[in-house]
Amino acid sequence: MVIALFKSPAELDVLIDEIGQRLDILYKTSTAASRAETWASLTTAVLKLAAPEDHEHVYQRLNALFSAHASRREAPPEQT
């Protein structure tokens, strides 16, 4: 039986999408001192699941996810 040491890029993308959907919950339940510490912990965990050749892709996806989430939280509410 062959055991996969790393997740495929497609599996990593699904995992990153799930992180994005649950990021607010992760912030609330995290014992980290700051959001930056939470981001660092999540990035480290996902990179451990990725093959070395996929690290750049994972890092870029997570960076985009965290940046977009931070922008949404800092944006003023829309006026109607």
9-65 residue pLDDT tens: 999 999 999 999 998 888 888 888 888 898 999 999 999 999 999 999 999 999 999
Structural domain includes residue 80: no
In a domain, 78, yes or no: no
Q: Is 2 within the bounds of a domain?
A: no
**Residue 79 placed within a domain:** no
pTM over 0.85: no
Structure-model confidence comparison of residues 73 and 51, the more confident one = 51
Output the pLDDT for position 70: 84
Q: Is residue 14 part of a domain?
A: yes
What local confidence, expressed as pLDDT, does residue 33 receive?
84
**Which residue range forms the structural domain that includes residue 60?**
9-73
> CB-based burial of residue 46 (10 Å sphere; 0-12 exposed, 13-18 middle, 19+ buried)?
buried
- Residue 46 covered by a domain: yes
Residue 39 burial by CB count (10 A; 0-12/13-18/19+): exposed, middle or buried? Answer: buried
For residue 19, being part of any structural domain is answered with yes
| Predicted local confidence at residue 71, as pLDDT | 84
Number of domains in the chain: 1
4 part of a folded domain: no
Radius of gyration of the chain from its Cα atoms, rounded to whole angstroms: 15
